[in-house]
Amino acid sequence: MDSLVQTPVTTSAEDRARALQPLLDAHGAEMDRRRELTPQVVEALFERDMLRLLLPRGLGGQEIHLLDYCKACEQLAWADASVAWFVNQSNVSSATSAAAMSREAAMTAFGGAREGLAWGSRHNMSKAIRVEGGYRLTGTWSFASGGRHTNYLGAHSAVQNPDGTPHMRHGRPDDRSFVFKRSDAKITDDWYVLGLRGTGSDTYTVTDLFIPDGWAPAREALEERQVTGPLYTIMSTLLYATGFCAVTLGVGRRMLETYIELARGKQSRAATSIMAKNDAIQREIANLEAKLSAARAFLHEAVVATYDAAASGTLNLDHRMRLRLATTWGMNAASDVSIASYRAAGTTAILDANPFERRFRDAMSASQHLQALPPHLEMVGRHLLGTENKVQHL
């Protein structure tokens, strides 16, 4: 384990992400083909310490402001969505886990610049049995984004007693995340998908794997928080949402810029002049720019308000709902921009050799994520109306 970063961090996360863009552009098609990041890209992420952006400073991380994190994810996604997706997934997973783990375990897992964390979504078919000194974990999880490039995987599960009854902790059913070595899991190579192919989000299985207490954080339990700070008060779900929204904004920006560049010189066979002189296209490009910029501004405003409230101890449900609205609406608005840019390019967009096709697939795959689903908007609407509401994913 290297407890020190290989290159001192002297520039902002956003600047480091922007500096990576030429490399990501050059390797994008190959990462899509391989269904994982190339070794050169993985090494570049390590060298620039891009997997510890949110990790607590006391553990060797950078613990940057959430707005700075947004901007870094957006810059990465402008060049390659799969890289940005992995960076967000790993950063949030490792940081929120470390904040609730024993210091020894957290330093072992995440103390080095070459460490990350990947895991799949929670479900109700796993089993974590409480035993002396830890847990016995059994289950299969999918969507371990970037798991081919991390030494550690994680999994979420409700905990039960040996007799099958729910294990109670802090007056409620115990629900935990479990961190373990990738080598302890059986990996199933099943990541054959429309977009975000480079994330290599495989399925993995563990059977009766012993997880020590120190490696089983209850990430959302404030009672077990080992590290305080705004990021760890906001907690994992909205941190994931913030990063993934930034990813879609980066993809949308690249698609729109590519559309504009195309329109400056292309002439449709059905038109009498180049696209740039078409009134309808001029109007569409202006509207798309406004939509994307509005989504970005809303996200940044909600991020700053939520972060500041968390820092001052005044974070409340209104802040969380507003950030939920900004992230969900932003992901869908950015997807709309990507779709419109793809359609406007005509047959140019369908060719592998042109920059539309792969990014369109990435945008469509990102838009299907839980964080972008309409029920979140319905929940926020009920909150604003003051009607009976089931609050979740905050």
Contact 116, 146 (CB under 8 A): yes
Q: What does each C-alpha distance from 42 to 82, 264, 315, 357 come to in angstroms?
A: 12, 36, 36, 24
Q: What is the C-alpha to C-alpha distance for residues 93 and 73, in angstroms, rounded to an integer?
A: 15
Contact 329, 47 (CB under 8 A): no
Q: According to the model, what pLDDT value does residue 272 have?
A: 60
138 bridge partner residues: 127
Domains of the chain, each with CATH number or no CATH: 13-116 (1.10.540.10), 118-224 (2.40.110.10), 230-385 (1.20.140.10)
CB-based burial, 166-201: b 16+ in 10 Å, e otherwise:
ebebeeeebbbbbbbebeebebeeebeeebbbbbbb
Where do we find the tokens 């006391």?
Answer: 58
pLDDT digits (tens, 9 = 90+) for 328-342: 999 999 999 999 999
**Which run of H or E residues covers position 339?**
helix 317-344
Q: According to the model, what pLDDT value does residue 4 have?
A: 40
pTM: 0.94
Q: According to the model, what pLDDT value does residue 1 have?
A: 38
What is the DSSP track for 144-157? ETTGGG-SEEEEEE
Q: What is the C-alpha to C-alpha distance for residues 344 and 340, in angstroms, rounded to an integer?
A: 6
Q: Using the 8-state DSSP alphabet, how is residue 166 labeled?
A: B
Contact 225, 99 (CB under 8 A): yes
Contact 298, 329 (CB under 8 A): yes
CA 259 to chain centre: 26
**Which run of H or E residues covers position 301?**
helix 279-312
- Return the structure tokens found at 337: 């921009």
Summary mean pLDDT of the chain = 94
The whole-number mean pLDDT for each consecutive block of 10 residues of the chain, a chain of 394 residues, reads 50 97 98 98 97 96 98 98 98 96 93 90 91 97 96 96 94 94 97 98 98 94 89 96 98 97 76 81 97 98 98 97 98 98 94 93 97 96 96 88
Q: What does each C-alpha distance from 18 to 60, 89, 238 come to in angstroms?
A: 23, 19, 24
